[in-house]
Structure formats: C-alpha cells, structure tokens
C-alpha cells in the first residue's frame, strides 16, 4: 500500500452484514459501556462509500441482519466497537487509500450451497463500490520543466487530510460534489492553489505546475577576528533551506 498509489479498497469479513467505515479506533473512553463515534476528516465521503455498497447489496441496506440493526446498513467502526490496529485506519492514516470493511454474511463459514446466493447479493455492490474511484479530482504535479514531482502534498481547504503524489507525480483525491480550493506544495517550491468544482460524474482533472522557490541571499558586513568568523559560519548553517 505504501509502494503503490492506491485510491480505494475494501476488506471482506463475515459474522455480520454491514458496511463499516473509519475510524475503527476511538480515542475517547467508553461512557457507561457505550462506544463513541470516531469520525475522520473525510467522514461524509466515507459514509457515502459505505452507503453505495449497502444500497447496491440485496439486503444490507434494510438494516436488520444477523440479529443486529444498522441504520442504512452502515456503521462507524468505533461506534460499533473500538478496534486497534485495523487495516482501514492504517490505510487512511499512512497511505493515500480510502478503505472500508465489508461484513458480508451472518455465517463466517457459509456452506458451498450458499455461495451462489451470496455472490448474487454482492456482485452489483462490488462493482458499484469500485466505480466510486472515479469521483473527485485527479492529476499530476510538475515543476516548470514538466518534470513530475513525487511526494508533493495535495491539500483541500476545510478537510484536514492531505494526499501525496506518487513516484510519477500522480495524485488522486476522492471528493463529494462541490466546489473546493485545492493546493499543491512541495519542499523547495512555491505552493500553487486552484478552485475546482466537482460534479457527480467522472473525476475532474487538475494539474499543478510548481515554480522553484527563490533563494534568499545572505547579506552582511565583513568582520575580522575569530569570533566574528565563527558567528558568520553559524549564520550560514542557520540560513534558509
């Protein structure tokens, strides 16, 4: 996940029927035995991703499954039960990938005869979920000579979760329909911002071209003496990067 610039993923579980989205781990202590909702900065889009799967599934969206009720067939992970070291939390915090957990059957080990029904129940939901990868913005980050810039940061105003470009300067950012201010930045370059309107269909292509940051010159009078020479060397070490 850290070597390849994945955008969207899901891990498949059994034992319940629900689409579970991050965060799985709550930082708040339990209050009278109840877990607390742990929202990511992208909570709205995670809810939409979970709903996309749930409503395309044959019965997940109905809510009542396996003796449990989940409104719209979705749940925040920590609100259900707090879990440390979950894959979906790791992906959100340490990679560019958005991931949810799909609990697909009441029986963790369904019989072979039940598999065709399970496949039919999930087939369209799997396809619909995969199609969500095409919503938001995507593009490249280049320097002034059209060379790709890797590990540049892509930030969206109002959402405190940044993406980074891949080794080829490519980026993908899932977003709901709306108008956003997007900024690209990288060490040694001046940041660049654009305003973009995202629609309900395919991802909007948005490229960035970053200019080199000007080098700041050090100006000062020449002084004699070891003490002043040492101070001058120190100022060079502490100068602009």
Residues marked active site are found at 103
* HSE-up (13 A, CA, CB side) for residue 182: 31
Closest CA to 7 of 96, 81, 69: 96
E strands of the chain, at which residues? 8-13, 16-21, 64-65, 68-69, 74-76, 98-105, 137-143, 153-156, 159-164, 170-173, 178-185, 192-198, 204-205, 208-210
Q: Are β-strands 208-210 and 137-143 bridged in parallel, bridged antiparallel, or unpaired?
A: parallel
Angstrom CA distances, 222 to 20, 113, 231, 237, stand at 66, 88, 11, 17
d(CA 53, CA 46): 11
- Which ranges of the chain does DSSP label H, i.e. alpha helix? 43-56, 77-80, 87-94, 115-131, 226-237
Contacts of 225 (CB under 8 A, 6+ apart): none
Angle value at C-alpha 23, between 22 and 28, nearest 5 degrees: 160
């Amino acid at each position: 996940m850290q070597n390849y610039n994945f955008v969207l993923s899901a891990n498949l579980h059994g034992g319940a029927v629900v689409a579970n989205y991050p965060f799985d781990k709550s930082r708040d202590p339990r209050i009278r035995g109840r877990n607390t909702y742990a929202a990511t900065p992208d909570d709205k889009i995670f809810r939409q991703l979970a709903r996309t799967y749930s409503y395309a599934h044959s019965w997940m969206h109905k809510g009542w499954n396996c003796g449990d009720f989940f409104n719209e067939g979705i749940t925040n992970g920590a609100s259900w039960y707090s879990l440390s070291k979950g894959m979906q939390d790791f992906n959100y915090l340490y990679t560019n990938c958005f991931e949810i957990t799909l609990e697909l059957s009441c029986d963790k080990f369904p019989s072979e005869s039940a598999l065709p029904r399970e496949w039919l129940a999930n087939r369209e939901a799997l396809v619909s979920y995969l199609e969500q990868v095409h919503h938001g913005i995507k593009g490249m980050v280049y320097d002034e000579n059209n060379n790709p810039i890797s590990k540049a940061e892509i930030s969206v105003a109002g959402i405190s979760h940044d993406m980074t470009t891949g080794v080829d300067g490519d980026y993908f950012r899932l977003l709901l329909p709306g108008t956003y201010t997007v900024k690209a930045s990288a060490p040694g370059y001046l940041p660049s911002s654009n305003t973009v309107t995202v629609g309900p269909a395919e991802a909007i292509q948005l490229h960035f071209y970053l200019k080199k940051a000007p080098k700041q010159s050090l100006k000062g009078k020449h002084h004699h003496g070891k003490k002043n020479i040492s101070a001058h060397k120190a100022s060079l070490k502490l100068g602009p990067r």
